Chains A and B, each alone.
Chain A
Amino acid sequence: MELGEEVPMREIDGRLKQLWESGDAMTRASLMNFAVYAECPRSLEKNTEVIREVTREHACRALLIAVEPAADTPSVRAWITAHCQLGDGGKKSVCSEQISFLIRGCGNTVVANTIFAHVDSDLPLTLWWQGDFSGNWEPHLFTEIDRLVIDSSDWEEPLAQFDILQSSYGHPASEFSVNDLTWTRVLHLRMALAACFDDPAALALLPKVESMEITCSPGHVMAGRFFAAWAAHRAGWKLAGVAEPGRVFTFDAGGRNLSLTFSEKEAETAVPSVILRGPGLTVSLLQEDGSRFIHGKVETSSSTTERLTPCPCRTPAELVVERLRRGCNTKLYFTLLETVRAMMAG
């Protein structure tokens, strides 16, 4: 994937103007500033591919920032390009612009300054921070952003990262919402579970559920934990104990015990299966490899109902597209995080 034309830092705006003026049939579109930060020089190519997908749904000014903190000689290089798709019945191209920066060996404030020097004013700023937080995650930056996108499944030290996240969010000048792609990975699974309990017969048996089994693919146990925390929060179950650290937990479901078991299995999706069981009720949500649907099944003593819930989010680009389409209930996220942390500690 080409980063486009390399341009001197001071000429970025002028060269962008030339870019738009050069194509008669190009229409610039933008609904937000979308900055993507990674501490990996090779991330620019990979993230350009992601942005190409994202801009099909969300027109934006994309700012890709790759940082190499350990470089000996400080330098900043920049490239400009545009991602276009045909709109208006194929008559014109609707395009989003992208500015890529490779920042080597510079001080902490360079990242924030680079972003703020190139945002489209008046449009909201979304920052996708890839990987663990570093020294570049500083108040000058995070107090100016509107949405933060993270992926807690990618973190090497999740508990420490959650601490940083919570303290940044609690900063008096912070106003960002938290958009964790791990949480987005289970969005459609949550919809599928909700849909199963739209069935009155299943809903009547919810208070009798005795167990929940969640299968996660390797590297995605965090998604399973968030799903479990959400289900428990919604159903009023409280984490009561750890039967087997990291794997089997006990919940207090209104005076009765409910067991939660995590298992692991190679699969294309983060959480390939969830099964709830109780007397006269089995609710299963299965995502087969290769399928774009979650197969929901409700079995009661008198009937069996099945339904398909679309699940279009797997790749990073698909997850970001879905995440940006929705608002984020950060308060709920932090409420669930307490249960997730407790499960991690157990």
Chain B
Amino acid sequence: MKKQPVVSPPASAATAGKKPTKAPRCRIHPIIIYPIRQPEDYSDLAGLYQLVAKLDAQRSRYARPVTVMDRKTYWSMQGNSAFRDFRNRTVAKHSDLVDAWCVDTCQMWYSGLGRAFEQGGPQDVYWLIPGDFNYGTAMGQEVLRRLHDLPEIVLELGQDLCIGEIEADHNDSKQLIDTYGTFALLYTWFPAEGQEIRRFTERPRSEFFAVCHSFLREVLERRWYGYEQTMVMLLQAVTQRKRISRFFVGQISDLPQGGESLTSALQQVERTERVLKSLWRERHRSDTDWLERYRLLETQSEQARRTASTILENLLGKLR
């Protein structure tokens, strides 16, 4: 068991003039992923940035928060005064803005986690907070009150990765995608690892997580995928026997702009398959019989994906 990090003292203990202690300081780095499509109503983002403002005010505990904003978002909204005001007076006030051109959300994660990592130390923890959820609702407020548990679990219990799990009905599109798509494909390409992942979480694609410094470094150094990066991290964590925790953060859903239509659901299953294929090839390319095994798995994978597509069409088709 890794030696547990010493938690930094509360702000009130940091008295001016006192000799600094030699205990390693560990800080939590919040990284907020700004929604790619700006919602018309700012109430959810306002709720989120109230939390960010509180974090920004506790510098002994938290590093300056980082917000990653896609340049597409900026350019599509630059003429909008409400957006400009919110960006300048709220987002930039309480966090360091990272403006980046990104092909997908996971690239925003990469930019934000990478930026925070460069400012962090070996005892630090990095906490990803997706921006496109309904934080302005009563349930969203409750989730915001619980989210801080994720990095604290990593710190207090010496974990490498803590996945935040949101509650979803069995018929929710996220649940359907994971049950019939993600896990079916994981069991095809990485059966043992897939089983181990499911012992911890039903949300292997969760956007809520916290990760320790050393594991983040390993993850950043490897190939980063444009999508389904949480699943890739979980696979890496399970393979390397990292310490994983799962914590329930509550009932929350994507904002309408991020809602999962059938097209989006099918796309997510296809992406998952592409990532798993690439990962499998990377891991087995030195095996002499890799191509033969790959072709066999590819056939099984296609069957799993088609079955998932049929189920998703049956259950989500009415939402088109």
Please indicate whether A and B come from the same complex rather than being unrelated chains: no
A residues within 8 Å of B by Cβ? none
